[in-house]
Structure 1
Amino acid sequence: MSPRPIEAADRWWRNTVLYCLDVQVFQDSDGDGTGDLQGLVSRIHDLADLGVTCLWLMPFYPTADRDDGYDITDFFGVDPRLGTLGDLVEVVRVARANGMRVIIDFVMNHTSADHPWFRSSRRSKTSPHRDWYVWRDAPPAKQDAPVFPGEEDSTWTEDPRTGQWYLHHFRAHQPDLNIAHPPVQEQIERNLGLWLELGVSGFRVDAVPFMFSSAAHHGTETTGAAPDYRGADHLRAIQRFVARRNGEAMLLGEVNLPHEQQLHWFEAEGEASGLHVQFDFVSMQQLFLSLARKDARPLAKALRDRPELPEASQWANFVRNHDELTLDKLAPDELEEVFEAFAPDEGMRLYGRGIRRRLPTMLGDDRAVRLVYTLMFSLPGCPVLFYGEEIGMGEQLDVPGRYAVRTPMQWAPDAGGGFSTAPPSRFPRPLPTGDFAPDRVNVADQRRDDGSLWHHIQRLTERYRDEPSLAWAKLEVLSLRQQAVLGHVCRDDDWTMLALHNMGDGHETVKLEVASDDGPVTLVDRFDVDATPITIDGRLEVRLDPYGWRWLQVTPASAAIRRV
């Protein structure tokens, strides 16, 4: 049976506000020092008030806990420290009651080395699970570089029991599954089917190019990989399976590739048939280059180069995610510029390509922080927030690696940040200190302060949700004389908005020609509800403060906007 056609009402992912969180550091309900699903239930109303419409839960499965839950030992359960399957259903139910959907991390590129499948696989060459992983008699002469340089020096490890080598793109304790092997594909469908039956609305698919490419690329005489396996076709089969089980379910993909290569994972022959949403890694990285230079042109170029997507597809716009701030698509000299600006100390950097800091500590200026989020919400696509961004949380650099930005959520100005009543020594990770400690940065205080970052983010979600056309509008990037200013026009059939964002610390004056064949043009400030509409006929001059912005709705929507 073919999946039913996706109607416009089902394409909720095209204008949702996503919020990523790690259950174990979000809210502890029972005082044991670890966040849990019942704690999340108690905080859903806070996220609804913020304007979130979709929760993205990082892995909550049983785990060996050597990679923050991404080293999974059972894909069909919940880590008992975090709760039960019943607790997860309660999260989904309460979220729905508050106008939110829930998506979860789908991590079947690899398992933990402690997973029963791998334990069986490594016992002997004749194990029934042997072909579930990728084995070779010797590593290939040419192999992929490790994802985590400095932690691993190869993507292959010899297993002494059989003398063969197994593939692991990530860490040696995370062996890659052989996704081309039909029994593994059956397990993938069983797993997706379970969570869809429990009410989730989709999946964030981890490491897409690795998951759907490694089996075909590394297939050997010892694996069950089909020689004609095509990863993109398999992904589309998964999408069809998901659509049959739940017509509204979405697939959000982690695909850190150049824009044109991302299209391969979106569509087939111009039709949306793969991932529904992908993170725009390229524009994110160019954003930080622009911020470092106080020059909007790198970001402007990236946005101009964003390819047009199939109708049911969407970009996910984000500032940073739960990993290191990856900058691997920048040229070496550009990377060094961003490092010098935002990670001057070696301890702030990771893997030679990323930064393990949060935005407020990098920028050091509240005006710039607000400017960045305003810009993110002004772009066609769906915005993605990482927990704590709404209050400007900082990092804890005493924590190793990526964990520096995965510290407990700061709800209140007490010693435990309102995260738990347990002593902080029992928390999964220590809280930030100094200017970013919970007594300085927390939800409770900011909710009482109308001028806080929390309220600024809330206003952004309101404006974004009030105008659905913004999410799927056509993007026109203007060529301005002011190098620090990003100017763009979002245009739908009967709606147009002019957005100007000053990425520099000086005043800028932008001069534009705004003209319509239908006579004078009216501009309405989308941020100042009390502002009087401006009617012009030809010339527009806008003065921007340092890190200032303007969102101006344009009527008629057909008006032309160009640089003077």
Structure 2
Amino acid sequence: MQNEKWWKETVVYQIYPRSFQDTNGDGIGDLKGIISRLDYLAELGIGAIWLSPVCKSPQDDNGYDISDYQDIDPMFGSLDDMETLINEAKKRNIRIVMDLVLNHSSDEHPWFLEAKKSKDNPYHDYYVWRDGVEGTPPNDLRGCFGGSAWEWVPELGQYYFHQFAVKQPDLNWDNPKVRQEIYDMINWWMDKGVGGFRLDVIDLIAKEPDRKITGNGPNLHKYIQELSRETFQKGDLLTVGETWGATPEIAKLYSNPDGSEFSMVFQFEHIGLDEQEGKGKWDLSPLDFLKLKQVLTKWQTELKGEAWNSLFWNNHDLPRIVSRWGNDGEYRVESAKMLATLLHGMQGTPYIYQGEELGMTNVQYPIEDYRDIELLNLYKERLEGGYVHEDIMASIYAKGRDNARTPMQWDAGENAGFTTGEPWIRVNPNYTGINAADQLENPDSIFHYYRKLIGLRKEYNVIVYGDFKLLFSDDKDLFAYTRTLDDTTVLVLCNFYGNTVFYDLPEELKGDKELLISNYSDEPVNGSLRPFEARMYLLK
């Protein structure tokens, strides 16, 4: 048996607090709302909650611009509420994983307010500055949300570096004082009982902007290993690095089984497979299904025994998977369950994003109903660049981050049971037909299907630790694989599309099988799969 850990055997549920549950009627979700829904999550069977940022923030980028790492934003509640959440979750065997933004702070953080006062200020070197002339930035590096990555501060005659919004200045990790401040803060949260951390864009911390190096800088792993030694290794934590630029080789450094860096990585290679080659996420292309099989198989086989992967289709930055690669119309239920089966049968720690367990879908709003800074900047830039409104909206409907950020659909009542006030972003109008209350009562619902998948992972070690083998690698409809541990084999069969497909299993898989789970309620037909049909078998 390979290195066993609780975080390999659990399933994580991601909450976007702003959109989960509001208790005070201000239209914004809060910590008390999460506390009120812990029993729902316990029933689902998850073992950890990844909480998108709740620290104090001006909310220029939805909390990824932190102005105080050791306090809770009043919009979400108080530090007392956070401590209550940690303790109440613990009673239900659920750990709280916090989202840490360590590449940059808010420009309203006390460090930056001091840093701007003068070049001699002790906090000046907490950030990345370069001398220059107004209107002529140090180089042509661009921010991820558009525009130059350099912002002029006339009082100082200097530019500061920001890889994201102007209000998110990059921290200077080359300064040991900055690193120590960060370690002290993390240890403070660990003392409060948090179960782990998700590290936002952590592969950008060791930037060298003069050399135009942003991701995977030369000192990256040195800094992460120091971070781990000074903090994470003092506890039994789940730590996951968001690493957009990771390859399997780099992932083996990030999640080395010796524990020197993180527990696991978020890598995104599969996420870009419906984009035009060499362009960004807004330039759409049909999914290359054979490539999807190759990419997922590569991460399954190359990390085996040497690193640990995260399994996900959705998060707060991604569109809803049932709308993206499933069928959110006639086969919404079947395709949502199929996509869940495909993912949860693999090796790695599965992540469920809020509402995924209900099959929540993308939205199509008029532009004025959207809230996301990235999306609104894109709309403005593309309109000015001569794009047609309808084409820009098609990209936004497909890939906009607000697809994932509409309020959680709890019931068929007003505002889907999310708030008694005016929600901060419109509720998806389909909530009357897609909501948690209905699904809890329906044993065939997507919710109960996820619950069963989570139960199987707890019951069968082979699903956590078994070797992966892809079957039918050239089949254009079928995603099938086995997982094998010692003398136990599980077979997963998924029809990725809306037509009936036929298959002929290899001889060694044709024997007696026990059906563990299927997304069709009637008896399966051997040798064929109906539209979006998924099955998981235990070979006897």
Q: TM-score, normalised by structure 1?
A: 0.80
- 1:137 equivalent in alignment to 2:104: no
- 1:242 equivalent in alignment to 2:242: no
Residue 288 and residue 445 in structure 1: after superposition, are their counterparts in 2 closer, same or farther (change >3 A)?
farther
Residue 549 and residue 234 in structure 1: after superposition, are their counterparts in 2 closer, same or farther (change >3 A)?
same
> How many angstroms does 1:304 deviate by?
2.9
Q: 1:428 is matched with which residue? A: 424
Measure, in 1, the Cα distance between the counterparts of 2:288 and 2:535. 17
Q: 1:266 is matched with which residue? A: 254
Map 1:454-469; keep pairs closer than 5 Å: 454-469=447-462
- Asked whether the equivalents of residues 371 and 503 of structure 1 are also in contact (C-alpha less than 8 Å), the reply is yes
Q: 1:223 is matched with which residue? A: none
Candidates 277, 281, 284, aligned match of 2:268: 281
Measure, in 1, the Cα distance between the counterparts of 2:475 and 2:252. 36
Candidates 475, 482, 486, aligned match of 1:493: 486
Unaligned runs of 5+ in 2: 277-283, 376-400
Q: What secondary structure is seen at the aligned counterpart in 1 of 2:122? A: coil
Q: TM-score, normalised by structure 2?
A: 0.83
- 1:299 equivalent in alignment to 2:292: yes
Q: 1:182 is matched with which residue? A: 176
Measure, in 1, the Cα distance between the counterparts of 2:404 and 2:191. 32
Measure, in 2, the Cα distance between the counterparts of 1:465 and 1:230. 39
Q: 1:232 is matched with which residue? A: 221
Q: What secondary structure is seen at the aligned counterpart in 2 of 1:75? A: strand
Measure, in 1, the Cα distance between the counterparts of 2:211 and 2:190. 30
Candidates 118, 133, 152, aligned match of 1:158: 152
> How many angstroms does 1:375 deviate by?
0.9
Measure, in 2, the Cα distance between the counterparts of 1:43 and 1:487. 35
Q: What secondary structure is seen at the aligned counterpart in 2 of 1:34? A: coil
Measure, in 2, the Cα distance between the counterparts of 1:288 and 1:523. 39
- The AA in structure 1 aligned to 2:462 is S
> How many angstroms does 1:96 deviate by?
1.4
> How many angstroms does 1:469 deviate by?
2.4
Measure, in 2, the Cα distance between the counterparts of 1:295 and 1:505. 16
- Asked whether the equivalents of residues 146 and 154 of structure 1 are also in contact (C-alpha less than 8 Å), the reply is yes
Measure, in 2, the Cα distance between the counterparts of 1:240 and 1:363. 51
Measure, in 2, the Cα distance between the counterparts of 1:302 and 1:31. 44
Q: 1:348 is matched with which residue? A: none
Q: 1:524 is matched with which residue? A: 514
> How many angstroms does 1:325 deviate by?
4.6
Measure, in 2, the Cα distance between the counterparts of 1:512 and 1:439. 42
Candidates 451, 463, 469, aligned match of 1:476: 469
> How many angstroms does 1:211 deviate by?
1.9
Q: 1:554 is matched with which residue? A: 539
Residue 288 and residue 132 in structure 1: after superposition, are their counterparts in 2 closer, same or farther (change >3 A)?
closer
> How many angstroms does 1:542 deviate by?
2.4
Residue 93 and residue 411 in structure 1: after superposition, are their counterparts in 2 closer, same or farther (change >3 A)?
same
Candidates 366, 369, 372, aligned match of 2:336: 369
Measure, in 2, the Cα distance between the counterparts of 1:511 and 1:395. 36
Unaligned runs of 5+ in 1: 1-6, 220-227, 327-337, 343-356, 535-539, 556-564
> How many angstroms does 1:87 deviate by?
1.4
Q: 2:416 is matched with which residue? A: 417
Measure, in 2, the Cα distance between the counterparts of 1:35 and 1:146. 29
Q: What secondary structure is seen at the aligned counterpart in 2 of 1:527? A: strand
Q: Percent identity?
A: 27
Q: 1:354 is matched with which residue? A: none
> How many angstroms does 1:251 deviate by?
1.2
> How many angstroms does 1:374 deviate by?
1.5
User: Deviations for 1:43-77, whole angstroms, at most 9, x for unmatched residues?
Assistant: 00001111211100011111111111111110111
Q: What secondary structure is seen at the aligned counterpart in 2 of 1:416? A: helix
- 1:502 equivalent in alignment to 2:495: yes
- Asked whether the equivalents of residues 130 and 160 of structure 2 are also in contact (C-alpha less than 8 Å), the reply is yes
> How many angstroms does 1:497 deviate by?
0.9
> How many angstroms does 1:385 deviate by?
1.1
Residue 141 and residue 265 in structure 1: after superposition, are their counterparts in 2 closer, same or farther (change >3 A)?
farther
- Asked whether the equivalents of residues 65 and 105 of structure 2 are also in contact (C-alpha less than 8 Å), the reply is yes
> How many angstroms does 1:143 deviate by?
4.6
Candidates 140, 144, 154, aligned match of 1:147: 144
Residue 146 and residue 360 in structure 1: after superposition, are their counterparts in 2 closer, same or farther (change >3 A)?
farther
Measure, in 2, the Cα distance between the counterparts of 1:288 and 1:469. 34
Residue 20 and residue 359 in structure 1: after superposition, are their counterparts in 2 closer, same or farther (change >3 A)?
farther
Q: What secondary structure is seen at the aligned counterpart in 1 of 2:98? A: strand
Q: 1:559 is matched with which residue? A: none
> How many angstroms does 1:14 deviate by?
1.0
- Asked whether the equivalents of residues 134 and 218 of structure 1 are also in contact (C-alpha less than 8 Å), the reply is no
- 1:254 equivalent in alignment to 2:254: no
Measure, in 2, the Cα distance between the counterparts of 1:478 and 1:510. 10
> How many angstroms does 1:480 deviate by?
4.8
Map 1:73-84; keep pairs closer than 5 Å: 73-84=67-78
Measure, in 2, the Cα distance between the counterparts of 1:37 and 1:181. 34
Map 1:3-82; keep pairs closer than 5 Å: 8=3, 11-82=5-76
- Asked whether the equivalents of residues 137 and 159 of structure 2 are also in contact (C-alpha less than 8 Å), the reply is no
- Asked whether the equivalents of residues 343 and 350 of structure 2 are also in contact (C-alpha less than 8 Å), the reply is yes
- Asked whether the equivalents of residues 407 and 426 of structure 2 are also in contact (C-alpha less than 8 Å), the reply is yes
Measure, in 2, the Cα distance between the counterparts of 1:292 and 1:367. 24
Measure, in 2, the Cα distance between the counterparts of 1:364 and 1:442. 17
Candidates 337, 356, 365, aligned match of 1:389: 356
Measure, in 2, the Cα distance between the counterparts of 1:379 and 1:407. 29
